[in-house]
Amino acid sequence: MVSMKKHFTHWVKKKSEIMITQGTLPFQLEIEKSDSGMTSFSGLPLYIELAIKSGLCSQIEKTLTKNTRGWSDLQIIMSIIMINLAGGDCVDDVDKLEADAGMRQLMLQISTHNMKPKARRAHEKRWRKSSERSFPSASSIRRYLNQFHNESEEKERVEGKAFIPSSNELLKSLTGLNLTLVEFFQENQPSNVATLDQDATLCETNKKDAFYCYKKFKAYQPFNTYWHEKGLLLHSEFRDGNVNAGFEQLRILKESLNLLPENIDKVYLRSDSAGYQQDLLKYCSEGRNQRFGVIEFAISAKVTGAFKQATLEVKDNAWHKIHKIDKNGISIETNQDFAEVCFVPEFVAAGNKKAKYRYIAIREKMVSQKEINGLEPIQLKLPFPTLDMETVKYKLFGIVTNTSMAGNELINWHRERCGDSEKVHSIEKNDFAGGQFPSKLFGANAAWWVIMMLSFNLNVLMTKLACPEKFKSKRMKNIRFYIIAVAGRFVKHARTLALKLSGGENTYNLFISIRENISGLINAP
């Protein structure tokens, strides 16, 4: 008896020591052994409801027919979308969702919701053996993504050659799903204008079969067409890193124009200097598009020797200060000047005389080393074009346009693209899972990128159409903090689930408001 008491006291002491050494704060960690229905992602069901309301889920079931060992296209694609929304960045993060007891319980309920007995039995027979998983495994997702790869195009993918592999039918169907979200947004928030911002972004990777980009690291280089008024990605083509940004940009513009809803009357185009291509400029200025006619644009012009010479001929009194408007609507004078330049390239002189082209030069005085410390300036190879005017050196930039906007207004309008496109690139690669890729196969990575785009646009629909006003301009970090990553508990009553939310009345009212807004949205045509 004494021995047992001594042993018990020793065991308690040991256990106490272990518990104390867990950390400096007065609490201990224990494993939750019961399937309690707790969830860390109470906001994800709201996105599932929106995906159903928008028609995305039904369109997946209609257009995609591949599956992997019992998992449907809808289950796998929605699982990847939830990885993106929840903050994951790789396929293996699906295990985080699977470990969430509440989400696991919800997905099991959804999988057989409204099924008739016959359909329910057919659903169960799809599995060779009973499964306790609610989300597909990481290996199932990888096998599924591999089906989007077009092996017949691989021989054309070589270093030093700009080539875009054609999509197989499955990848085409997946890409086409984005149109469902675009049309749903337009149906619920109509607009007759579309300003399209085109830009490429580099996604660094260590994949063995990836190619080096112009910045000398391995990368993929997707090309985005962003609808400014909507905040949507209208089109995004996945590319190798060695494909230059402006490669086949006119083709992408045509494809993007075809994706615009029927009630769009006017289109504008903005691009960096990658878009300074004769075929693109002529297509827009000469009104070759049958639907939209002349497309007004502002595109960064390449600063050639002839453009520099034309700029040198501009008189001093023709230069004007550039003003920008701050967040409070106050006009602020910048350290840059602009001037209209009489510059007529050969393709303009030989082209359609009805087409209009205006060239605007922008100069910014460079502070020399001599001005800073009295020393002579060191001649460096600068990463931007410069202009020497007497004793002053300027950074020099150019814009070509076919609009009649005043110079200062045009410059600020064109620069809106920079803020939007850079922000979108960051969101794609950092806020969502576009910064990491699951496979060495190009097509599998392309499918991963497309599903990221669907996640991006689904979140745009959520913030613009369903959330209160204060969330409309918030980044994903804030949306996750207040909506997605809310703790809750799923409780089953008879055949229905109830989600009990943490966060008190404010969180409850927010979720009720979002659900009511989703319910009130117009179904896409």
Residues 393 and 479 in one domain: no
Residues 396 and 467 in one domain: no
Domain containing 502 equals 38-148+450-519
Residues 54 and 135 in one domain: yes
Cβ neighbours around 47 below 10 Å, total:
26
Residues 55 and 131 in one domain: yes
Half-sphere exposure of 447 (CA within 13 A, CB side): 30
Whether the CB-CB separation of 446 and 148 falls below 8 Å is answered with yes
Our CA angle for 500, 501, 505, nearest 5°, is: 115
Whether the CB-CB separation of 472 and 125 falls below 8 Å is answered with no
Q: Please give the pLDDT value at position 35.
A: 67
Residues 395 and 485 in one domain: no
- Asked whether residue 187 is assigned to any structural domain, the reply reads no
Q: Please give the pLDDT value at position 127.
A: 47
Count of structural domains, the chain: 2
User: Burial letters for 278-299: b for 16+ Cβ neighbours within 10 Å, e otherwise?
Assistant: eebbbbbbbebbeebebbbbbb
Whether the CB-CB separation of 174 and 149 falls below 8 Å is answered with no
- Asked whether residue 334 is assigned to any structural domain, the reply reads yes
- Asked whether residue 241 is assigned to any structural domain, the reply reads no
| Pairing of β 218-220 and β 211-212 | antiparallel
Give the whole-angstrom CA distance, residue 470 versus residue 80: 27
Structure token digits, residue 386:
């410069």
Q: Please give the pLDDT value at position 445.
A: 96
- Asked whether residue 274 is assigned to any structural domain, the reply reads no
Contacts of residues 388-394 at CB distance under 8 Å and 24 or more positions apart, as own/partner, are 389/312, 392/365, 393/365, 393/366, 393/368, 394/363, 394/364, 394/365, 394/366
The torsion of the CA quartet 68, 71, 77, 80, rounded to 10 degrees, works out to: -90
Residues 6 or more apart whose Cβ sits within 8 Å of residue 403:
296, 297, 298, 358, 410
Give the whole-angstrom CA distance, residue 271 versus residue 275: 6
- Asked whether residue 120 is assigned to any structural domain, the reply reads yes
Q: Please give the pLDDT value at position 365.
A: 86
Residues 49 and 138 in one domain: yes
Please list the alpha-helical segments (H only) found in 153-207.
169-176, 178-188
- Asked whether residue 45 is assigned to any structural domain, the reply reads yes
Residues 457 and 388 in one domain: no
- Asked whether residue 478 is assigned to any structural domain, the reply reads yes
Residues 362 and 301 in one domain: yes
Residues 395 and 468 in one domain: no
- Asked whether residue 408 is assigned to any structural domain, the reply reads no
Residues 301 and 386 in one domain: yes
Strands (DSSP E) contained in 213-330 are: 218-220, 223-227, 232-237, 266-271, 296-301, 320-325
Structure token digits, residue 201:
């972004």
Residues 46 and 142 in one domain: yes
Task: Tell me the whole-structure pTM to 2 decimals.
Answer: 0.88
Digit-by-digit pLDDT tens for the chain (525 residues) are: 555 555 545 544 455 444 446 677 887 877 777 668 899 999 999 999 999 999 999 999 999 976 556 789 999 999 999 999 999 999 999 999 999 999 998 888 876 655 566 655 665 555 444 457 899 999 999 999 999 999 998 888 888 888 999 999 999 999 999 999 999 999 999 999 999 999 999 999 999 889 999 999 999 999 999 999 999 999 999 999 999 999 999 999 999 999 999 999 999 999 999 999 999 999 999 999 999 999 999 999 999 989 999 999 999 899 999 999 887 888 899 999 999 999 888 888 777 778 889 999 999 888 654 554 444 444 445 556 776 666 678 889 999 999 999 999 999 999 998 877 788 999 999 999 999 999 999 999 999 999 999 999 999 999 999 999 999 989 999 999 999 999 999 998 777 788 999 989 999 999 999 999 999 999 876
Which helix (H) or strand (E) is 107 found in, with range?
Answer: helix 101-111
